[in-house]
Structure 1
Amino acid sequence: MSTLIFGIIASAAAVFSILFSAWQIRQLTQQTAINNGIAAAAAINTSVERLHGIGMLIFQHPHLNRYFFHGADVPEPGEEREQVLTLAHMFADSLDYGLMIKSLAPGTSRYDCWDHYVADMFATSPAIRQVVLDHPSWWQVLAPHLPEPSPPATGPQA
């Protein structure tokens, strides 16, 4: 009889232990999801802060705005060219970082606006395109997002 009682108690303890482990796993899963969300938000915030830093530099030098948002070609050699190319490197670093975070951090993969922003920056900034084309290995996540060059227009054959 005591063996039966001991068996029932042991079985009840095993069932309780399994139920408690399941509850712990559920809590751990919820905590992991929350932590991943917080990490994703922090990573996105860092990406945006990097862009704000570049934006502040452009705000302080508004004549440079056209090279990044209005399609102006890279200026001829001189101080302004150096400023534009330096900012283009900084932009490329930030864009590459944002894309890298989007691909690595759980919870950021659906942050598609970053892809659209990268495409828009390539479309409006020959300077950013140039620095990435000149050194694609420096920005290995960003470089594959470069648009394909347009084929030359062909007129009527004579």
Structure 2
Amino acid sequence: MSTLIFGIIASAAAVFSILFSAWQIRQLTRQTVITNGIAAASAIYNSVERLHNVGTLIFQHPQLNQYFFHGAAVPESGDEREQVLTLAHMFADALDYGLMIKSLAPGTSEYDCWDYYVAGMFATSPAIRQVVLDHPSWWPTLTPHLSEPPPPGTMPRV
């Protein structure tokens, strides 16, 4: 009789243990989904923040706007050429980072807007195209986008 009682208690404990483990797994799954969502939001924020930093520099020097959003060729020489190329490097860094995050961070793969924005920037900025073509290994995630035609309606807003 004691063996039967012990068996029932052991079976109940095993069932309880399995149910408790299932509950823990469910909670862990919920926590992982929340954590991934927060990480994705943070990664996207960091990408946009990088673009805002470059945009701030262009805002402070509005004469440079034409080289990034209106298709003006890179100046042949002088201080303005150096400013344009430096900003183009910074822009390429920000674009490459955004594309990299989109491909790596869970929950960011649906942000096709990065692909469209990159295509638009390549379409309107010979300076960005030039620095990426000059140093393709510096921006491994961005470089493959050089050969893609811009999707219709993807020109960046000014």
The two structures share one fold, judged by TM-score above 0.5:
yes
Q: Distance in 2 between matches of 1:99 and 1:4?
A: 63
Q: Aligned letter for 2:125?
A: S
Matched, 1:111 2:111: yes
Matched length: 149
Shift of 1:148: 5.5
Report the TM-score when normalising by structure 1.
0.93
Shift of 1:76: 1.0
Q: Distance in 2 between matches of 1:66 and 1:25?
A: 55
> 2:89 is matched with which residue?
89
Q: Distance in 2 between matches of 1:113 and 1:30?
A: 27
- For structure 1, the 5+ residue unaligned runs are 150-158
> 2:64 is matched with which residue?
64
Q: Distance in 2 between matches of 1:67 and 1:141?
A: 22
Q: Aligned letter for 2:115?
A: D
> 1:137 is matched with which residue?
137
Q: Distance in 2 between matches of 1:5 and 1:37?
A: 48
- Native 8 Å contact 2:119 2:148 kept in 1: no
Shift of 1:147: 2.7
> 1:77 is matched with which residue?
77
1:44-55 matched pairs, under 5 angstroms: 44-55=44-55
Q: Distance in 1 between matches of 2:103 and 2:25?
A: 27
Q: Deviations over 1:32-76 (max 9, x none)?
A: 000000000000000000000000000000000000000111111
Q: Which stretches of structure 1, 4 residues or longer, exceed 4 Å deviation after superposition?
A: none
Change (3 A) 1:99 1:148: closer
Report the TM-score when normalising by structure 2.
0.93
- Native 8 Å contact 1:122 1:147 kept in 2: no
Identity of aligned residues (%): 85
Change (3 A) 1:11 1:148: closer
> 1:147 is matched with which residue?
147
Q: Deviations over 1:9-29 (max 9, x none)?
A: 100100000000000000000
> 1:41 is matched with which residue?
41
Specify the structure having the higher radius of gyration (Cα). 1
- Native 8 Å contact 1:67 1:84 kept in 2: yes
Give RMSD over aligned pairs: 1.0
